[in-house]
Amino acid sequence: MHQSPGLVSRAAISGVPRPLSRIVLGTLPLTEVSRSSAFNLLDAYAALGGNAFDTGRHYGDAEEILGAWLRERRNREAMVIIGKGAHPDSGGRSRLSAVEIGRDLESSRELLGVESIDLYLLHRDDPSVPAGKIVECLNEHHRLGRIHAFGGSNWSTARLAEANSYAAGHGLEPFVAGSPNFSLAVMLQPPWTGCISATPEDRAWYGAQRLPLVAWSAQAQGFFTDRYGPHRRENANMVRCWYSEANFARRARAKVLGEQLGVSATAIALAYVLSQPFLTFPVIGPRSIMELRDSMAAARIHLTPRETNWLETA
């Protein structure tokens, strides 16, 4: 393990116009605070070296808030937008069709005030839709300059492989990233319908394919904070999704390592995701500048394989 000075590092994703910060700021929490507080949080993230934002058509007015900040700060060309669309409707109906993808993409571009979204992720999968049809649809939007690159959020590795096999066979642009849940805490049940979490086999596949993994809920929805514990069971969703003896043991080990380094267990959990042998871009969801700084401390820490294994299993 070592700590390094400086701001959060950046890395490239194929097709995305500029390298993006390894720690991505989730924009959904911006909808829960005042506009001035949201702008202050975005400013603080940028000041710490962050330049990548995870947003989506399903996230209320998050796109409008981010777009207003980009216009006011006049910094669009320095930032990377990871957008998402084609989330199922409130009744669970699949919206993974060319019409719905186009509709969501057009709305997102308008709300963000941008010509093109840097990395566009399909928010959910529908295995009944042939992967080739989706690849053709996304390539058309890419050809028209509406998106620079694309990928799948909550797509299985088998479906990603199917899509990229079709792309390779037809001379088309492939999926350049996947976005499942991935955290030191192992997800027991999905918090929302249609979500998937990366298994050890999935992680090996991402490494073998050299496909970047954009990890949502990389800190397990706050599981590593003091808000939760074996005897704090007020949040039924947290209990259902994350409460297990093994996860609490991982949390305890993260606290031990954090005390040694002078950082929180939450920062250690984030460093765990960053320190994998394949390229990861964990998404964080701070609701205050204090929480942001706490998470960004992970950028200074690199864990060895032995240390990541210890955090997992002791």
DSSP line for 176-243: --EE-B--SSPPSS-SSTT--B--HHHHHHHHHHT--B--BTTTGGGTTSTT-BTTB---HHHHHHH-
With 0.75 as the threshold, say if the pTM is over it.
yes
How many residues are there in the chain?
314
Q: Can you tell me the mean pLDDT for 149-176? A: 98
Q: Which domain holds residue 37?
A: 14-242+276-295
Q: What are the phi and psi torsion angles at 292 (to 5°)? A: -60, -50
What was the pLDDT predicted at 273? 98
pLDDT in tens, 58-81: 999 999 999 999 999 999 999 999
267 within some domain: no
233 within some domain: yes
Q: Which of 279, 100, 273 is nearest to 176 (CA)?
A: 279
Is residue 105 within 8 A of residue 117, CB to CB? The reply is yes
Number of domains in the chain: 1
Q: Can you tell me the mean pLDDT for 134-146? A: 98
Confidence of residue 258 (pLDDT cuts 50, 70, 90): very high
Is residue 235 within 8 A of residue 228, CB to CB? The reply is yes
Q: Is the confidence at residue 114, as pLDDT, over 70?
A: yes
Distance (Å, whole) CA 124 – CA 84: 9
262 within some domain: no
Confidence of residue 262 (pLDDT cuts 50, 70, 90): very high
308 within some domain: no
Q: Is the confidence at residue 245, as pLDDT, over 90?
A: yes
Confidence of residue 3 (pLDDT cuts 50, 70, 90): low
What was the pLDDT predicted at 53? 98
158 within some domain: yes
- Mean model confidence pLDDT for the chain: 96
118 within some domain: yes
Please classify residue 149 by burial: count the beta carbons closer than 10 Å to its beta carbon, then call 0-12 exposed, 13-18 middle and 19+ buried: buried
Q: Is the confidence at residue 6, as pLDDT, over 80?
A: no
182 within some domain: yes
4 within some domain: no
Q: Is the confidence at residue 82, as pLDDT, over 70?
A: yes
Q: Can you tell me the mean pLDDT for 182-201? A: 97
What was the pLDDT predicted at 314? 75
What was the pLDDT predicted at 91? 85
Please classify residue 89 by burial: count the beta carbons closer than 10 Å to its beta carbon, then call 0-12 exposed, 13-18 middle and 19+ buried: exposed
Distance (Å, whole) CA 54 – CA 120: 10
Q: Can you tell me the mean pLDDT for 76-98? A: 95
Q: Is the confidence at residue 121, as pLDDT, over 70?
A: yes
CATH of the domain at 149: 3.20.20.100
Residue 203 has, within 13 A of its CA and on its CB side, a CA count of 17
Q: Can you tell me the mean pLDDT for 193-210? A: 97
